[in-house]
């Protein structure tokens, strides 16, 4: 059985674009290559019923960080690694690049 497609309205799309733009991300929702994962996440949240721009912005920051630093999820993951006696290898140019690429090397202490 196929799923019923869920659509968003023009006003919901404008809210998504506004949240992305204010968060420092590209507001291109559909026609980007590679796909805009931040926009896709917000579209899913809107389709699931979230409509408040403040809540959407909080979710965006929690999942992807903001233009000034890594996401809260990445920081929690790095803290968990540190709790297990592991650390991120030196040589990364910034925490933001670490958050954007999601690639890092783990070394034993």
**Residue boundaries of the structural domains of the chain:** 10-64, 72-108
Q: What is the pLDDT of residues 35-67, one digit of tens each?
A: 788 888 999 999 999 999 999 999 988 888 766
User: Distance (Å, rounded) from C-alpha 38 to C-alpha 49?
Assistant: 17
Residues 63, 41: contact at Cβ < 8 Å? yes
Residue 89 vs residue 16, higher pLDDT: 16
Given a cut of 80, whether residue 2 has pLDDT beyond it is no
Q: Of 22, 23, 44, 48, give the one whose Cα is nearest residue 35.
A: 44
Of the listed ranges 14-18, 65-69, 77-81, 92-96, the least confidently predicted one is: 92-96
Q: pLDDT grade, residue 72 (50/70/90)?
A: low
Check residue 96 and give its pLDDT: 45
On average, the pLDDT of the chain sits at 74
Enter the pTM of the model: 0.59
Answer whether residue 18 shows pLDDT above 80: yes
Phi, psi of 44 (to 5 degrees): -60, -40
């Amino acid at each position: 059985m196929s799923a019923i497609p869920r659509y968003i309205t023009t006003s919901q799309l404008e809210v998504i674009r506004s949240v992305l733009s204010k968060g420092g991300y590209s507001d291109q929702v559909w026609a980007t290559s590679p796909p805009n994962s931040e926009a896709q996440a917000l579209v899913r949240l809107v389709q699931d019923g979230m409509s408040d721009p403040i809540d959407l912005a909080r979710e965006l920051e929690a999942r992807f960080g903001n233009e000034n630093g890594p996401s809260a999820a990445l920081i929690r993951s790095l803290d968990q690694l540190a709790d297990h006696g592991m650390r991120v290898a030196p040589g990364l140019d910034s925490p933001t690049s670490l958050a954007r690429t999601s690639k890092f090397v783990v070394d034993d202490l």
